[in-house]
Amino acid sequence: MTTFLEMAFYIAAAVAVLATVLAITRTVAVHALLYLIVSLLAVAVVFYTMGAPLVAALEIIIYAGAIVVLFVFVVMMLNLGTHSRETERKWLAGKMWIGPVLLSAILLGEVIYLIVRSPLSGGIGAMVSPKEVGIALYGPYLIGVELASMLLLGALVGACHLGRFTSGKKEARV
């Protein structure tokens, strides 16, 4: 017999898979972003049901918050004028919101039930403080964390080099 946590895990995982498939198959960038947000929120619920509320919160803050805001900013920068605004109004018609709202409502109901039914100190699992996460990351996994930071630094330097302006021209170098 499965417990509610297992059922919540499977429901959130199914929502994550469905939203990810819909995000990949959408041809309109705004629609894909809506499903990407739902997918990231579903992954956060999966982490929460597995007893990792800190990781779930980081998933929401970093990915569903910061990264998606960056994507939305890029989509906004790609607008080309009044024709694009009219096209966007058509894209964001009421029927477009049915899928993301339905999937988000499933996740919201699941999260509310999880919070009410099993408080964090009880049925979800052992709480891990941010201090313990820091000790684990900078203890036995110190080399992995430092290698990841070096990889990110290399990506930042590469992005700066590729995005710099050529001498006297206003076009970015590719």
Q: What percent of the chain stands above pLDDT 90?
A: 9
- Parse the chain into domains and list their residue ranges: 4-127, 129-174
Q: Measured in whole angstroms, how far is the alpha carbon of residue 170 from the centre of its chain?
A: 34
Helix (H, G, I), strand (E, B) or coil at 173: coil
Q: Which residues pair with 165 in a beta bridge?
A: 172
**Highest CATH level, class, for 4-127:** mainly alpha
Tens-place pLDDT, residues 49-73: 887 777 888 888 888 787 787 777 7
- Inter-axis angle of helices 98-117 and 4-25, to 10 degrees? 160
Q: Residue 172 phi/psi, 5° resolution?
A: -80, 145
Residue among 23, 117, 120, 9 at smallest CA distance from 64: 23
- Average model confidence (pLDDT) across the chain: 76
Provide the whole-model pTM: 0.61
Whether residue 141 has pLDDT greater than 90: no
